[in-house]
A and B are shown apart, each in its own frame.
Chain A
Amino acid sequence: MNKRALRPWLYLLPALLFLGVFLVYPLLDVLVYSVEEGYNSASQSYYGVGLYNYAYVLHDPYFLQAVKNTFIIVIITVPLSTGLALLISLGLHSIGRLRELFQTIFFLPYVTNTLAVGLVFMILFQKTPYSDGLVNVLLSVFGLSPVDFIEGPYWAKILVMCLYTVWIVLPFKILILTNALASVNEDYYRAARVDGTSKFRIFTKITLPMISPMLFYLVITGFIGAFKAYSDEVAIFGTDLNAAGMNTIVGYVYDMLYGDSGGFPSYAAAAALILFAIVMTITCINLLVSKRSVYHA
């Protein structure tokens, strides 16, 4: 090979090196860990190769609970946050005055620390010996009995979790969608107005198709992000998510590695790969659906 042909590879080398060391190798290593049965990190030994780790994880009630929680969060928050973001963006797009003020307000959660937001949610929802939390105070105004949202029934915890997740992912989606809406050529709307197109038809026939690539992008990244949820749960329910019954798949992986019940890299690896398979499948389905319904410029 002559010098000229080598040159591009030389330029690529730093990136390839980093990707290889920090991405490809760990990925392969995870695969290896996940099939090593009875791996002991202290002695670096194991006594077999097989799918035992997967079987264990799939029968672990904590893992099943984490999968259930994760799926509930994904199924509720992704459509809800995307839909809400679309509504808010449409609103922002149509108001003239104060648009910038509202844009800033809606963007604030994005620049706020997750844990700080968690604290705010605690104040809103947590029952303490001294206070019922703001939401419970409001509930009592309407004559409803207070609910312990942080340590109470499962549905209450999921509710808080979903609210929190939606609130935290909303700003980015609004940012993307307001820009997508602003980039639609005004002439399309003018042409539609000349033809007397109804507002609803303009929205479904022009606006939606024109912003569909961005919407689709948000759905895909939304799914992936929600499947990888973990820090948001910690921010509200603390680090012992299993005890709270609010663990997620990523939380389970972390617990298996470093938690109180940790020290099981093989189980963690198996769980991580199961998550990978789930995300991969969902993304592929998304891509297939988008082929039919998304307009690509």
Chain B
Amino acid sequence: MKIVLQELTKRYPNQNKKIKEDVVAVDHFTFEIPDGKLIGLLGPSGCGKSTTLNMICGLEKPTSGRIFFGEDDVTDLPPENRGVGMVFQSYALYPHLTVEQNIMFPLENFKGKDKLTREQMKERAKKAADLVQIGELLERRPKELSGGQQQRVAIARALVKEPRVLLLDEPLSNLDARLRLQTREEIRRIQRETGVTTVFVTHDQEEAMSISDWIIVMKQGVVQQIGWPQEVYDKPVNLFVASFLGTPPINVFRARAEGGKLYIGGAAVLDVPGVPDGDVTAAIRPEGFIPCEDGPLVCGRRAVETMGRDTSVVATHPDFVREEIRTIVPSGTRVDAYAPTVSFALRPEKTHLFDPETGERIPFGEETGHE
């Protein structure tokens, strides 16, 4: 089932009564989520991603805008008539009920012709439990389960009604690092197996990038960029998206463009054809640095950290906006551990230019048609 969001907006009255102006949690969100895709809604806390999820779910009413599931306008429908399943961040498993009773809970609400017999309910619950591989835990209570198992029960409960849309609110934030890896693959598998259109909210960019078909990056209620994860990573539309995606984070420099060349600290570090002269913000991915002796970008060397698979060179530069530059170079690279400076050449595809005022992307090279 595809989900269409049309100019979706949510305003709240300001908590501080002295301020008359409303808080805009979600601002004119328009997007079409294709059928059967896994979508990651990504952004820092307070960016409106949970509000968006709640509006899709029906727990919150949008101030304006419409929501469609397929061709149906569901904007004014209560959650139970939309056909959504929701997994809450806290899982919200009823602690006094067994796993089976928890999974059956949504089915027991069916009325009229949809009403199921006890056997049908048990069968459906068993099927949902098997799908998330907790078939043996049906008699347990939530507190007797690990975090990962509780998560699975919550997913089974959300799926037992066979919803058209599955919504997950920060599904991995309550799990430890190892379980997180495992669970996110599990979510991916369950989504593939059921083919249900799934939207999940996260503030963890790695989580979003790793399993989503599409990611939507939000900031202060406004959608910044929507795209295939690699595309968003490779071509961030603004500095916020560039900084939000990627670990270690992107390295941001104060720079200047002049005559088709990029200058950082007086040195021409890269050819940037097609960029008008003026101050720019240069953001370079950690893997965009190539250490070489005659490289144009000369930085103070701070440390070389060997990770095994690759090496991280930590450096400083007066025009760098934060404390330390973090670069990632292949482990075979020879870096003089005693020299006071280290020089880099830059990969153009890993270097992004932004307007220092607006933060908007400034295209250069191939993007603008220049070679």
The interface of chain A, by Cβ under 8 A from chain B, is 185, 187-188, 190-198, 201, 205-206, 209-210, 295, 297
B96 touching A194 by the CB < 8 A rule? Answer: no
Report if A210-B57 is in contact (Cβ < 8 Å); known contacts: A194-B85, A196-B80, A198-B109. Answer: no
A196 touching B81 by the CB < 8 A rule? Answer: yes
Q: Which of A187, A191, A201, A205 has the most CB of B within 10 A?
A: A191
| A110 nearest CB across to chain B (Å) | 30
Least CB separation from A296: chain B residue: B96
A194 touching B58 by the CB < 8 A rule? Answer: yes
Determine the distance from Cα of A201 to Cα of B143 in the docked complex, in whole angstroms.
23
A295 touching B96 by the CB < 8 A rule? Answer: yes
Q: Is B84 an interface residue (CB 8 A)?
A: yes
Q: Which of A187, A197, A205, A209 contacts B90 (CB 8 A)?
A: A187
B88 touching A196 by the CB < 8 A rule? Answer: no
Q: Is B161 an interface residue (CB 8 A)?
A: yes
Q: Is B79 an interface residue (CB 8 A)?
A: yes
Offer 9 A-B interface pairs, CB within 8 angstroms, sorted by A: A185-B92, A187-B91, A188-B92, A191-B157, A192-B105, A195-B105, A205-B105, A210-B96, A297-B143
Contact with A along B87-111 (1 / 0, CB 8 A): 0111110111000000001101100
Q: Is B78 an interface residue (CB 8 A)?
A: yes
Contact with A along B237-273 (1 / 0, CB 8 A): 0000000000000000000000000000000000000
**A194 CB contacts on chain B under 8 angstroms:** 57-59, 79-80, 84-86
Determine the distance from Cα of A202 to Cα of B157 in the docked complex, in whole angstroms.
16
Least CB separation from A189: chain B residue: B92
| B217 nearest CB across to chain A (Å) | 26
B78 touching A196 by the CB < 8 A rule? Answer: yes
Q: Which of A191, A206, A295 contacts B86 (CB 8 A)?
A: A191
**B84 CB contacts on chain A under 8 angstroms:** 194
Determine the distance from Cα of A193 to Cα of B78 in the docked complex, in whole angstroms.
9
Least CB separation from B87: chain A residue: A191
Least CB separation from B84: chain A residue: A194
**A196 CB contacts on chain B under 8 angstroms:** 78-81, 106, 109
Q: Which of B89, B96, B143, B161 contacts A195 (CB 8 A)?
A: B161
B59 touching A209 by the CB < 8 A rule? Answer: no
**B78 CB contacts on chain A under 8 angstroms:** 193, 196
A209 touching B86 by the CB < 8 A rule? Answer: no
Determine the distance from Cα of A194 to Cα of B84 in the docked complex, in whole angstroms.
7
Least CB separation from B101: chain A residue: A205
**A206 CB contacts on chain B under 8 angstroms:** 94
Q: Which of B92, B95, B106 contacts A190 (CB 8 A)?
A: B92
Least CB separation from B108: chain A residue: A201
Least CB separation from B141: chain A residue: A295
**A201 CB contacts on chain B under 8 angstroms:** 108-109
| A119 nearest CB across to chain B (Å) | 42
**In the A-B complex, the 10 residue pairs with the closest CB atoms:** A196-B80, A295-B96, A187-B92, A195-B106, A191-B92, A209-B96, A194-B79, A194-B86, A187-B88, A187-B90
B79 touching A193 by the CB < 8 A rule? Answer: yes
**A193 CB contacts on chain B under 8 angstroms:** 59, 78-80
| A181 nearest CB across to chain B (Å) | 16
| B15 nearest CB across to chain A (Å) | 14
Least CB separation from A297: chain B residue: B95
Determine the distance from Cα of A192 to Cα of B96 in the docked complex, in whole angstroms.
14
Least CB separation from A191: chain B residue: B92
Least CB separation from A198: chain B residue: B109
| A136 nearest CB across to chain B (Å) | 48
| A188 nearest CB across to chain B (Å) | 5
Q: Which of B57, B90, B96 has the most CB of A within 10 A?
A: B96
Given contacts A187-B88, A194-B58, A195-B109, 5 further A-B contacts (CB under 8 A): A187-B91, A193-B59, A194-B86, A195-B79, A195-B106
B59 touching A190 by the CB < 8 A rule? Answer: yes
| A130 nearest CB across to chain B (Å) | 52
Contact with A along B45-81 (1 / 0, CB 8 A): 0000000000001110000000000000000001111
Determine the distance from Cα of A197 to Cα of B94 in the docked complex, in whole angstroms.
13
| A296 nearest CB across to chain B (Å) | 9
Determine the distance from Cα of A188 to Cα of B86 in the docked complex, in whole angstroms.
12
**A188 CB contacts on chain B under 8 angstroms:** 92, 94
**B57 CB contacts on chain A under 8 angstroms:** 194
Determine the distance from Cα of A190 to Cα of B54 in the docked complex, in whole angstroms.
10
B92 touching A195 by the CB < 8 A rule? Answer: no
**B157 CB contacts on chain A under 8 angstroms:** 191
**B105 CB contacts on chain A under 8 angstroms:** 192, 195, 197, 205
**A187 CB contacts on chain B under 8 angstroms:** 88-92
Q: Which of A193, A194, A198, A210 has the most CB of B within 10 A?
A: A194
